Amino acid sequence: MIAPSILSADFARLADEVAAVRGAEWLHVDVMDAHFVPNLTIGLPVVEALLGVTDIPLDCHLMIDDPDTWAVRYAKAGAHNVTIHIEAADDPLRIADELRAAGALAGLAIKPKTPLEAYIEVLRHYDTLLVMSVEPGFGGQRFIPEVLDKVRAARRLVDSGELSVLVEIDGGINEETIEQAAEAGVDCFVAGSAVYGADDPATMVAVLRDLAAAAAGRD
């Protein structure tokens, strides 16, 4: 699965930019509050507007200080997957229950330096695990390969039946890095600059998907 990140899109032409990634499985939307991360991007009104112009399921990544208050609002608006950061949540189990009750998948994100092992029990309540392969806050950063150890650990837990989550990765994914991420066991790849920096974003989505499928042995 490829989830183009509109963080790298032209915000003045969002409807056109969303249409340009036809064929993508998800559309990744980074919500940042300038508190949890230093950047400020978009919020619920823009997500609601996007829901009106695309049928690509929205994958909302909340990089915000108060997901306990805000996460369920994105689910109620119609987001398909709503991901919160474990580092910001006061009550992640309640958030997961509320997201699912509102009709969304519940996603849990971990920063590059956050250990996976500490949150295995929490992840049993979640549908997706988002492994950050850059420090959250800005697009276009260099991929941190060391996080793939967490991906491999998560993949083993999923394959053994101990967890039931979709493994997603976000940060520095491009034609050079997607294969190693796929080999490690990623299911869904967030790609911003690689997609929106291409001459034809839709073609790049297909290229990345093919590279990942081949590397994972699913070609």
CA 192 to chain centre: 11
CATH for the stretch 2-215 = 3.20.20.70
Q: For the chain, what are the domain ranges? A: 2-215
Report the SS3 class of residue 112: coil
Alpha carbons 204 and 107: distance in angstroms, whole number = 26
Q: Over the stretch 76-105, which tens digit does the pLDDT of each residue have? A: 999 999 999 999 999 999 999 999 999 999
In this prediction, residue 38 carries a pLDDT of 83
Q: Letter for the amino acid at 184? A: A
Q: Over the stretch 115-135, which tens digit does the pLDDT of each residue have? A: 999 999 999 999 999 999 998
- Ranges in the chain, pLDDT < 70: 137-140, 218-219
In this prediction, residue 140 carries a pLDDT of 67
Alpha carbons 125 and 79: distance in angstroms, whole number = 18
In this prediction, residue 219 carries a pLDDT of 47
Q: Which residues are catalytic?
A: 30, 170
In this prediction, residue 39 carries a pLDDT of 84
Q: Are 129 and 105 in contact (CB under 8 A)?
A: no
